[in-house]
Amino acid sequence: MENLQLPPKQDKSLLKKVRAIIITLLVVALYVWTFTSIDVDWGRAIERAINNFHRVIPRLLSPDWSAAGEVGAKMLETVFIAFAGSLMAAVIAVPLSFLAATNMMGGKIVSTIGKWILSAIRAFPDLILAILFVVAVGPNAFAGVLAIAIGSTGMLGKMFSEIIESIDMEVVQAMEASGANKIQILFYGVIPQITPEFLSYAIYRFEVDIRASSILGIVGAGGIGTMIIFASSNRNWNEMGMILLSIIIVVTVIDFASARIRRKIV
């Protein structure tokens, strides 16, 4: 049985060992800090949960069908907000992504500026954008469309620029060598390579935006979120059940459809 033993492990260098120890200590310190300074009132939370359980859960599971029409209309509005917003974002993101891609506009400075613009847009949570647009165009669904459009532009622009960076540059070089101008290279060398993936990501973003636009209503930017806030402040859990059901159905259907379309495109 002597020869049945594990192969010898590679010796790790001292630097790596020290680094691993430091990282471990940092992580442990982070957790100690987190769990010692967070204040959760367990007694009160459990007491309230026991009191509220029968008031919330059973009613959540028996949706209020009389509200179905109203909920359906708001859900449709949510889908429209997401659609208009993500389509706008997909269009705005294209020039920004060309700006941010390192292999397109030449200079490294330009692409760095483009990348900075995109990360600055991404750093704003959707909800804060929604607050700004509600102030600008009033509390209606269009504020939601604008918030979704700007919010998705940051993410889509980043994805698009990564796609552009991953294209086969030999095609572009071959076209350059045979004397094509910039416009020709763009239309015959670059666009055919990026179109399927651009479309796929735009459709995926629509999926994400359906989820995002369903919460914008809490700041007045239209969609189903408005009803979520009303139902929760009225403690109308039956209606909340109906809202939850409609969100689950719509999101599932759209996820399914978009997965099918994306599989066909790519």
Partner 1 sequence: MTTKNSLTQSSMPLYPAKTKIQVTIIFFVVLGIYTFSMIWTQDEMVGGFGGALGNMYTVIEKFFPPNFTILPTIWKAMMQTIQMAIIATTIAAILTVPLAVLSAQNITTLKPLYYITRTFLNLLRTIPDLVLAVIFVGLFGVGVFPGILALTVFSLGILAKLISETIESVDMNPLEAMRASGGNVFQVIWYSLVPQIAPQFTSLVLYVFEINIRASVVLGMVGAGGIGLVLNQHLKFYNYPNAMTIIIVIFATVLIIEFISNKIREALL
Binding site for partner 1 (CB under 8 A): 30-31, 33-35, 37-42, 44-45, 48-49, 52-53, 56-57, 60, 77, 80-81, 83-84, 87, 119, 123-125, 127-128, 131-133, 135-138, 140-142, 144-145, 211, 214-215, 218-219, 222, 225, 228-229, 232, 235, 237, 240, 243-244, 247-248, 251-252, 255
Nearer to partner 1, 123 or 177 (CB): 123
List the one residue out of 197, 196, 194, 176 whose CA is nearest residue 185: 176
What is the smallest separation between the CB atom of 11 and partner 1, expressed in angstroms?
18
Closest contact distance (angstroms) between CB of 69 and partner 1 is 16
CB nearer partner 1, residue 68 or residue 137: 137
Burial of 117 (0-12, 13-18, 19+ CB in 10 A): middle
Which is closer to partner 1, CB of 68 or CB of 105? Answer: 68
Shortest spacing between CB 258 and partner 1, in angstroms = 13
* Closest by CA position to 145, among listed 59, 82, 74: 82
Sign of CA dihedral 203, 256, 142, 216: negative
Residue 13 half-sphere exposure, CB side, CA atoms within 13 Å?
3
Q: How far apart are CA 221 and CA 29, in angstroms?
A: 41
State the sign of the Cα–Cα–Cα–Cα dihedral 265, 93, 127, 220: negative
Q: How far is the CB of 106 from partner 1 (least distance, A)?
A: 25
